[in-house]
Amino acid sequence: MTTRIPVYDDLVAASKVLGKMAHRTPVLTSLTMNRRLDAQVFFKCENLQRIGAFKFRGGYNAVANLSAEQRKAGVVAFSSGNHAQAIALASKLLGVAATIVMPHDAPEAKVAATRGYGARIVSYDRQTEDREQIAQSLVQEQGLTLIPPYDHPDVIAGQGTAVKEFLEDVGPLDALFIPMGGGGLLSGSLLAAQALSPDCAVYGVEPLAGNDGQQSFRKGEIVHIAPPNSIADGALAQGLGKLTFPIIKQYARDILTVTDEQLVEAMRFFATRMKIVVEPTGCLGAAAAFNEAVPVKGQRIGVLLSGGNVDLSAYAGFLQA
């Protein structure tokens, strides 16, 4: 298991590995928001990425970089969300067998999507079983390789290709707002910004209820918290990673927080004004920018929309309330 901290060259390599496999997602703008904030705002739409989230980038890069022997044995991931679908689709495209460990009460739509990409699902009971243990026994008994959701150099490098493209397409920015869970996306984004727009202030944004990243950043060491409660279900990590944290500590300007109400407001803005579906977690960066968690007036700012996978009935509820 490699624990090397990735660098910008790894993002360049990941871009080559991804090639045309990942979409070069569009960058959208909104005159309404530009006027409201008196700023120039660019939205990088990873909600329109394959599997509906940026996680395809890191997942594909990680599976593609395995040795022939590892690929033959197959991979395992534990996730009920976007990482599961990323590993399932990446594995299918690369001809690798994927096993996904999911709670038996995971949303049916997510189970079906993951199975639809040809992955084997191993379900477990959240109350009585430990998913990491189940995954570890598959590693030991069947020789599978575990692909973690964020704390892996190839995953971080893959995720960073989104901001690499973003900055190549729009040029240098004054500030960037990036959703954050375990910090894979943020750390990759920091490597890209450091190389392509070194004066840009890069902010990680997490739910207020789960501000372990902010606590860690302020304290200078990784702080673990109890399972948080927020509608941002892709950002409920209980602690940053051993690889992601050092990069965040070194290069992030700050870690900001937003409330669930601010996420809902942002979701409504994207639906009504920009006609795009963004999941609650995907709105973290946007909510911080829209509410001016830091001053943005007169600046060129980038907002990464990280995903668009939201259960339709839940989405309808968010839009209505």
Ligand X SMILES: *Cc1c(COP(=O)(O)O)cnc(C)c1O
Indicate which residues carry an active-site annotation.
Answer: 55, 80
Q: Which of residues 71 and 164 has its CB atom nearest to ligand X in the complex? A: 164
C-alpha–C-alpha distance, residues 214 and 201, integer Å: 16
Q: Which of residues 74 and 241 has its CB atom nearest to ligand X in the complex? A: 241
Position 44 contacts ligand X (CB under 6 A)? no
Q: By rule CB under 6 A, what string of x and - marks binding of each residue 226-265 to ligand X?
A: --------xx-x----------------------------
Stretch that binds ligand X, among 22-30, 120-128, 177-185, 266-274 (CB under 6 A): 177-185
Position 148 contacts ligand X (CB under 6 A)? no
Least distance from ligand X to the Cβ atom of residue 309, Å:
7
Position 6 contacts ligand X (CB under 6 A)? no
Position 281 contacts ligand X (CB under 6 A)? yes
Least distance from ligand X to the Cβ atom of residue 298, Å:
28
Position 153 contacts ligand X (CB under 6 A)? no
Position 90 contacts ligand X (CB under 6 A)? no
Burial of 250 by CB count in 10 Å (0-12 exposed, 13-18 middle, 19+ buried)? exposed
Looking from the CA of 129 toward its CB, the CA atoms found within 13 Å total 18
- The number of residues that bind ligand X (CB under 6 A) is 23
Instruction: Give me the residue whose beta carbon is nearest to ligand X.
Output: 307
Joined together, the tokens standing for residue 108 give 């049916």
Position 302 contacts ligand X (CB under 6 A)? no
Among residues 179, 207, 285, 302, which is the contact residue for ligand X, using CB under 6 A? 179
Q: Which of residues 74 and 81 has its CB atom nearest to ligand X in the complex? A: 81
Mention every residue, 6+ apart, whose C-beta is less than 8 A from residue 246: 5
Among residues 25, 65, 80, 82, which is the contact residue for ligand X, using CB under 6 A? 82
Position 166 contacts ligand X (CB under 6 A)? no
Position 181 contacts ligand X (CB under 6 A)? yes
C-alpha–C-alpha distance, residues 227 and 258, integer Å: 17
Angle in degrees, CA 243, 51, 239, rounded to 5: 25
Among residues 148, 153, 182, 207, which is the contact residue for ligand X, using CB under 6 A? 182
Q: Which of residues 153 and 181 has its CB atom nearest to ligand X in the complex? A: 181
Among residues 18, 22, 42, 55, which is the contact residue for ligand X, using CB under 6 A? 55
Among residues 184, 210, 285, 302, which is the contact residue for ligand X, using CB under 6 A? 184
Q: Which of residues 82 and 299 has its CB atom nearest to ligand X in the complex? A: 82
Q: Which of residues 187 and 299 has its CB atom nearest to ligand X in the complex? A: 187
Q: Which of residues 181 and 302 has its CB atom nearest to ligand X in the complex? A: 181
C-alpha–C-alpha distance, residues 300 and 170, integer Å: 10
Residues that bind ligand X (CB under 6 A): 53, 55, 81-82, 149-150, 159, 179-186, 234-235, 237, 279, 281-282, 306-307
